[in-house]
Structure 1
Amino acid sequence: MTRSHIRRLRIADADFVCSVRGSAAGVVPASVVFAAYAPGRRLRMRFSSAPAEGRLAGDAGLGHGSLRTADGRWINLHLPAVMQALVLAALGDGRGDDVERDGWRVLDAAALPVPRAAAP
């Protein structure tokens, strides 16, 4: 897996340590794992590339931590607001801890921030 970037965030009254890791070069399908850990909490979400479905992740020609959704949106997993939205969605899904989730399903349930319009 490619190197991880650690970020500390306060989410839902807990201090989470969040990281984003890409799959090793040549692994098929390419994927990205988003992990968030807090005392008593271990959340992992895997985003695997599925080009036939329009979903790209990992070293599938994208920058580290970037996703392309089936509807053409670009998501940067390193943004604190995106991390927070994913953690809140995972905490609310009732699946508990220590379960690797399908990141795409968590992303579909997450309340992502609205992208800012580009300055003129």
Structure 2
Amino acid sequence: MKKNKIIYWTATILMLLSGVSTAPMYFTNPMFIESFHHLGFPDYFRIELGVFKIIGAIVLLLPMIPAKFKEWSYVGFAIAFISAFIAHSVVDSFPASIFPLIPLAFLVVSYIYFHKNLATK
């Protein structure tokens, strides 16, 4: 049981560091703003994505949040990472699109061990 919790928290933290830590920069960093314009996304989408990534991170980190909300957070992150992969694949080259798959892999591990931890409660 302790091993499962360690794997869960390690995967969750790595996912948040690799895929969500940049969310606050979506609001003010010119490089991120230009990146969204380069991909063809409007400004409101960049702000919406940043807000929802921050909310999703809080939901996953706080243990008192019910599992049902955590499930939706996992779904939202999966959609965001898969969509980022597709957008970068279409607009940029394939090697540039690999980065969103890294947090997606951590997300999958986190999700699997989230359910393993729920089963042992």
Q: Give the TM-score, by structure 1 length.
A: 0.24
From the two aligned structures, give the one with the greater helix fraction: 2
Q: Give the TM-score, by structure 2 length.
A: 0.24
From the two aligned structures, give the one with the greater strand fraction: 1
Indicate the structure (1 or 2) with the bigger Cα radius of gyration: 2
